[in-house]
């Protein structure tokens, strides 16, 4: 009996010990969990505080950008400046050149079938240039050709009568004089266009659709192009600059500028229905001709080869059974011209390629004075830039799959045919 009571007491003590241990374990686990929860909450709260601080900072920045009720456009954007190379800002550049750009207006008189006159107003752009102390206005030939009552208007609104000093339809150039007082003239500087590279930024200031003093910006998208216009009698205007700067009717004759405000070209034409394909006469052409235009009234020094032709292609080369896929194929030699005198040969057979009739069988010009000629752009640019009338050049050709070099004395391009 006593043994049983002792045993019972031992069992009670064991049970109590186990209960205590279980309780301590549970309390410990709860404490650990509570500590972990507390630490997790603390971390989350810190992250929330950080996010709230960031949101507050952003809201403050946004509120600083938003105009107050009495704020003006200038107040909001006074610290925003657009820079274009060497820390030159577009607003500064615009102010630098705008007084040099003018609106040119004129009237063209035409006659109806019954002999009654009717009048059309033409409009374009131009800019002031100082030629050896004489202030002149440079523009495109097509802006003022056949026009009467020509006038120019400066950016300040002052207008004056103008007269033509000289023009060259082959380069689409014209020079005007006015009776404006000297203080109106703010001449621009003309620089060397041959240093231009594809990708260079350029600026156009002109009067599209009569909207005076408009500025547009783009880049040089190609150099050494050729274009033809109605007044060039089919002859190409050589070494033309292609640009992405938006051009519209009324921009013609205005300056194409580099980021220093120097003239590198004269805006002249666009590809109809294109987006961002415009052209400008290079400033080198202007500098080459300006003296003759001012003093003689014309420029009659364009070198002349006396041929017509077409760019070579793979398809033409296949039809001619030649491996030469580049160069310029002569399809006709002008009788009595320089090429005829040198015995260059034109085509003899007409074929149709992709729906177009082409005369093949003539000489393929592949080089002039060892300078590679790949197309009409190369040919025209080389002749205008590096040759003159009366000069003898070495023309490398391919004839019947044989390469040869023929000396040709260049002539002077005939005057353009009347429209």
Give the span between the Cα atoms of 366 and 378, in whole angstroms: 10
- The gap from C-alpha 109 to its chain's centroid, in whole angstroms, comes to 34
**Active-site annotation holder among 142, 214, 363, 380:** 142
296 in helix, strand or coil?
A: coil
348 is catalytic: no
H or E element at residue 378: helix 376-386
**Active-site annotation holder among 100, 252, 283, 380:** 252
302 is catalytic: no
Give the span between the Cα atoms of 389 and 392, in whole angstroms: 9
Give the span between the Cα atoms of 131 and 335, in whole angstroms: 40
Is-contact 168 289, C-beta < 8 A?
Answer: yes
252 in helix, strand or coil?
A: coil
126 in helix, strand or coil?
A: strand
Environment class of residue 279 by beta-carbon count within 10 Å: exposed (0-12), middle (13-18) or buried (19+)? buried
172 is catalytic: yes
Give the span between the Cα atoms of 328 and 322, in whole angstroms: 13
What are the CA-CA distances from residue 6 to residues 11, 294, 298 (Å)?
9, 137, 139
Region class of 176: left (phi > 0), else alpha (psi between -120 and 50), else beta: beta
- The gap from C-alpha 143 to its chain's centroid, in whole angstroms, comes to 21
Is-contact 120 111, C-beta < 8 A?
Answer: no
Q: Tokens for 392?
A: 């003898």
Give the span between the Cα atoms of 226 and 238, in whole angstroms: 5
Name, in order, each residue with C-beta under 8 angstroms of 162's C-beta and a sequence gap of 6 or more.
104, 137, 150, 151, 152, 176, 177, 178
Give the span between the Cα atoms of 251 and 408, in whole angstroms: 40
Environment class of residue 301 by beta-carbon count within 10 Å: exposed (0-12), middle (13-18) or buried (19+)? middle
Is-contact 176 125, C-beta < 8 A?
Answer: no
**Active-site annotation holder among 168, 172, 363, 378:** 172
Name, in order, each residue with C-beta under 8 angstroms of 308's C-beta and a sequence gap of 6 or more.
234, 330, 331, 332, 334
**Active site (catalytic) residues:** 142, 172, 252
């Amino acid at each position: 009996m006593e043994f049983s009571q002792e045993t019972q007491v031992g069992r009670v003590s064991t049970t109590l010990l186990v209960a205590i241990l279980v309780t301590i374990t549970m309390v410990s686990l709860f404490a650990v969990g509570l500590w972990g929860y507390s630490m997790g909450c603390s971390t989350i709260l810190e992250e929330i505080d950080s996010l709230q601080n960031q949101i507050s900072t952003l809201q403050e920045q946004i509120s600083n950008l938003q105009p107050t009720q009495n704020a003006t456009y200038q107040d909001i954007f006074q610290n925003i400046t657009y820079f274009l190379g060497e820390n030159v800002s577009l607003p500064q550049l615009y102010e630098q050149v705008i007084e040099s750009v003018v609106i040119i207006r004129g009237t063209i008189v035409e006659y109806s079938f019954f002999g009654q006159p009717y009048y059309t107003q033409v409009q374009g752009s131009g800019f002031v240039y100082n030629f050896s102390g004489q202030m002149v206005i440079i523009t495109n030939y097509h802006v003022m050709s056949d026009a009467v009552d020509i006038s120019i208007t400066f950016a300040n609104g002052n207008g004056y009568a103008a007269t033509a000093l000289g023009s060259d339809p082959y380069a689409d150039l014209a020079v005007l004089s006015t009776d404006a007082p000297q203080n109106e003239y703010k001449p621009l500087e003309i620089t060397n266009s041959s240093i231009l590279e594809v990708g260079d930024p350029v600026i156009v200031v002109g009067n599209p659709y009569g909207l005076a003093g408009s500025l547009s910006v783009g880049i040089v998208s190609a150099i050494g192009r050729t274009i033809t216009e109605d007044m060039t009698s089919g002859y190409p205007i050589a070494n033309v600059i292609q640009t992405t700067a938006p051009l519209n009717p009324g921009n013609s004759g205005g300056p194409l500028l580099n980021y220093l405000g120097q003239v590198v070209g004269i805006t002249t034409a666009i590809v109809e229905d294109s987006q961002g394909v415009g052209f400008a006469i290079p400033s080198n052409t202007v500098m080459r001709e300006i003296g003759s235009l001012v003093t003689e009234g014309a420029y009659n020094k364009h070198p002349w080869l006396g041929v017509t032709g077409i760019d070579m292609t793979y398809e033409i080369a296949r039809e001619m059974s030649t491996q030469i896929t580049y160069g310029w194929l002569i399809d006709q030699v002008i009788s009595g011209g320089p090429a005829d005198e040198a015995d260059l040969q034109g085509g003899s057979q007409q074929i149709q390629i992709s729906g177009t009739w082409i005369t093949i069988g003539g000489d393929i010009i592949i080089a002039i004075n060892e300078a590679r000629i790949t197309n009409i752009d190369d040919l025209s640019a080389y002749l205008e830039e590096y040759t003159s009338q009366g000069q003898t050049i070495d023309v490398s050709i391919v004839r019947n799959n044989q390469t040869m070099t023929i000396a040709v004395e260049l002539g002077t391009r005939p005057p353009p045919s009347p429209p």
